[in-house]
């Protein structure tokens, strides 16, 4: 067993390493990780309350806490899910069930046309959910983005006429929803309390092991209409909106006891830790943007609004194709050296047809410092010079 454990550790990405600046996954709080061990050992399912009493109660408390944090009125509710993609799909299924003139669960969706208005730069899970539900290309009404990759809200009135009269307002706040815990940055989420449903991931900026997400409904009863299904061994006529059972709300049946991971963080550290972590990460990201802008050979895609930043190194003598190629090589050599883990992306500016390659950093690590970020830029510049010499 020690050999197996060492092998797994040696061949895994270490999120607590201060050079980890990759995907949107937070290093875990030790107490929340230990709560995950409790979950795995107890192995209680979550479909019915009698099988997961402690975790079901904890889940309800966390859902209510998030509803209040988002400013929703009494009567809000929801559930926890294994990831934001699952939460987004579940929210759209709820919207389909509630806003339909008929009953899609029994009658199907062939007689009705449904569509989702979504920004061109939205997370892929929205596109995937639309296609899982069988709505195809016509099920997506694309809203263009501006030069900061934000939805063009000024176009919504015109696009509204394309959509059906009855609308469901879903906010995919899987990443940015954490700002609700910040006294300084929470105002950026103004209006989120008016959403019919909201997705949030605790494993992105809130230091909880993944995958731990929640779907919050402005009206709790909406969640219990998502899956209008009978199963005598599990779902009964009496387990409607007053029931503590979660099986009617989610695709998952034997759901992990993910609620206790969040509860452990709240009980031991309090929600102030969430806000403090968000503030630190956003401050550090803004400082990293300053460092990039202070170096003449570096280019920012845009100033970051949150804790994700896209940039690249370029020189006047390089054309776009060379710039893309050299930054690809730089990322590969950074990974091979093992001191940093960063990712990559392709960005297409508003109104342009060609996408450009950028290095992508997510500042989500409490171990990362300004010095670490400065040395990252030094190393990128050194690699670029080495490529140029060779």
- Give the separation between CA 260 and CA 136, rounded to whole angstroms: 38
- Give the separation between CA 99 and CA 218, rounded to whole angstroms: 15
Q: Which two tokens stand for residue 109?
A: 């969706």
Omega prior to 211 cis, within 30 of 0: yes
Residue-wise pLDDT tens digits, 350-381: 777 789 999 999 999 989 999 999 999 999 99
Q: Which two tokens stand for residue 136?
A: 């195809």
Start-to-end CA span in the chain (Å) = 46
Is pLDDT of 320 > 60? yes
Q: Which residue, chain included where needed, has tokens 């991971």?
A: 261
pLDDT of residue 229: 56
Cβ-based burial of 126 (10 A; exposed 0-12, middle 13-18, buried ≥19): buried
Q: Which two tokens stand for residue 62?
A: 């966390």
Residue-wise pLDDT tens digits, 91-100: 888 888 887 7
pTM, two decimal places: 0.85
Q: Which two tokens stand for residue 117?
A: 């208005």
Residue-wise pLDDT tens digits, 170-212: 999 999 999 999 999 999 999 999 999 999 999 999 999 988 9
By the 8 A CB rule, do 250 and 81 touch? yes
Specify the pairing of strand 170-172 against strand 140-143: unpaired
- Give the separation between CA 16 and CA 26, rounded to whole angstroms: 9
* C-alpha distance from residue 262 to each of 33, 183, 187, 333 (Å): 10, 20, 23, 37
* Residue ranges of domains in the chain, CATH in brackets: 30-114+164-269 (3.40.640.10), 274-389 (3.90.1150.170)
Q: 200, 180, 201, 175: which is closest to 190 by C-alpha?
A: 180
Q: 70, 55, 83, 74: which is closest to 263 by C-alpha?
A: 55
- Give the separation between CA 51 and CA 38, rounded to whole angstroms: 15
Q: Which residue, chain included where needed, has tokens 């195809």?
A: 136
pLDDT band at 230 (very low <50, low <70, confident <90, very high): low
Omega prior to 284 cis, within 30 of 0: no
By the 8 A CB rule, do 27 and 18 touch? no
pLDDT of residue 151: 78
């Amino acid at each position: 067993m020690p050999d197996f454990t060492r092998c797994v550790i040696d061949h895994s990405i270490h999120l607590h390493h201060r050079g980890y600046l990759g995907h949107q996954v937070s290093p875990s709080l030790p107490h929340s990780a230990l709560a995950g061990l409790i979950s795995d050992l107890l192995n209680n399912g979550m479909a019915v309350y009698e099988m997961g009493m402690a975790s079901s109660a904890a889940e309800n408390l966390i859902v209510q806490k998030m509803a209040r944090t988002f400013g929703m009125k009494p009567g809000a509710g929801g559930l926890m899910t294994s990831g934001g993609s699952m939460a987004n799909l579940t929210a759209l299924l709820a919207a389909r069930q509630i806003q339909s003139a008929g009953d899609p669960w029994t009658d199907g969706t062939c007689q009705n046309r449904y569509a989702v208005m979504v920004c061109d730069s939205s997370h892929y899970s929205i596109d995937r959910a639309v296609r899982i539900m069988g709505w195809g290309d016509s099920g997506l009404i694309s809203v263009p983005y501006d030069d900061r990759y934000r939805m063009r809200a000024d176009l919504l009135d015109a696009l509204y006429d394309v959509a059906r009269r009855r609308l469901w307002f879903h906010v995919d706040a899987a990443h940015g929803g954490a700002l609700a815990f910040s006294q300084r940055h929470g105002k950026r989420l103004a209006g989120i309390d008016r959403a019919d449903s909201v997705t949030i991931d605790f494993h992105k900026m809130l230091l909880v092991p993944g995958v731990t997400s929640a779907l919050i409904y402005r009206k709790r009863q909406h969640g219990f209409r998502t899956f209008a299904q009978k199963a005598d061994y599990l779902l009964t006529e009496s387990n409607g909106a007053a029931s503590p059972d979660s099986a009617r709300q989610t695709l998952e049946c034997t759901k992990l006891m993910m609620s206790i991971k969040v509860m452990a963080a709240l009980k031991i550290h309090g929600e102030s830790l969430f806000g403090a972590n968000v503030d630190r990460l956003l401050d550090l990201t803004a400082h990293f943007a300053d460092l990039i802008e202070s170096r003449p050979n570096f280019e920012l895609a845009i100033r970051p609004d949150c804790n994700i930043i896209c940039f690249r190194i370029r020189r006047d003598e390089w054309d776009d194709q060379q710039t893309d190629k050299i930054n690809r090589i730089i990322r590969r050599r950074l990974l091979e050296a093992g001191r940093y883990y960063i990712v990559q992306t392709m960005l297409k500016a508003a109104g342009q047809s060609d996408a450009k390659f950028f290095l992508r950093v997510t500042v989500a690590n409490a171990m990362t410092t300004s010095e670490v970020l400065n040395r990252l830029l030094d190393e990128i510049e050194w690699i670029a010079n080495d490529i140029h010499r060779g």
